[in-house]
Amino acid sequence: MKTPTFTLVAGPNGSGKSTLTGGNLDFFSAYPLLDPDVIAKTIQADPANTNPLTAGREVLTKVAGFVDRRESFAVETTLSGKNYIETMRTAGNLGFAIHLVYIGTVDVEINLVRIRRRFIGGGHDVPEADVRRRYERSLKNLIIAAHVADFVMLFDNSTDGGYREVAMIENGTPRWFDPVPAWAGPLKTSFKNI
């Protein structure tokens, strides 16, 4: 039986998760991708659903189903909470290969500008206070998640020039690509301290 894979595509709001997954359809179409924003749009289209937390619960239910059935899947997340870290551990204990693709930026202001641009273009908005809070939490949780994952790819998306690979970490062994942006510095330090 083939080893199931749990892939997290993570990063703060406005870092470019959906752009990355949408632009790499060959890679991300290999198994189901759970995008909370897409699920939220579907739920909001139903006038009977008025609870904004419904999409989050729906994603967590789907994640639990994939894990229970031992099926490969991917999920987009800000990684601002600990739920997915616990799910990574659980899935890993059940024999999943755990992959983390993390996208960061050097400044939350970059994310805020992108979110405003997206909203003006008809996309969804995220309150500024939420973006700022999630940005910091996401970077802290990255350190934990990267040590749980079997394979990690880090990208910096601070410029409009596209994603730049920052690191690849396989089974706890990192390979860094200079220059390492400040947001990835604490993660790099955490691997030196092992």
Compute CA distances 80 → 66, 173, 180, whole Å.
21, 24, 22
Q: What is the pTM of this model?
A: 0.88
Q: Cα(163)–Cα(159) distance, rounded to whole angstroms?
A: 8
Residues 6+ apart with CB under 8 A from 52: 40
- Class of domain 5-191 as given by CATH: alpha beta
φ, ψ of residue 126 in degrees (nearest 5): -135, 130
DSSP class of 184: G
Q: Cα(7)–Cα(182) distance, rounded to whole angstroms?
A: 25
Give me the amino acid identity at 110: I
Q: Where are the domains of the chain?
A: 5-191
Q: How far is CA 125 from the centre of its chain?
A: 18
Residues 6+ apart with CB under 8 A from 113: 14
Please give the chain's pLDDT, 194 residues, in tens. Answer: 689 999 999 999 989 888 787 766 566 667 888 877 666 666 555 545 545 556 678 888 999 999 999 999 999 999 999 999 999 999 999 999 999 999 999 999 999 999 888 888 887 788 889 899 999 999 999 999 999 999 999 999 999 888 999 999 999 999 999 999 999 999 999 998 65
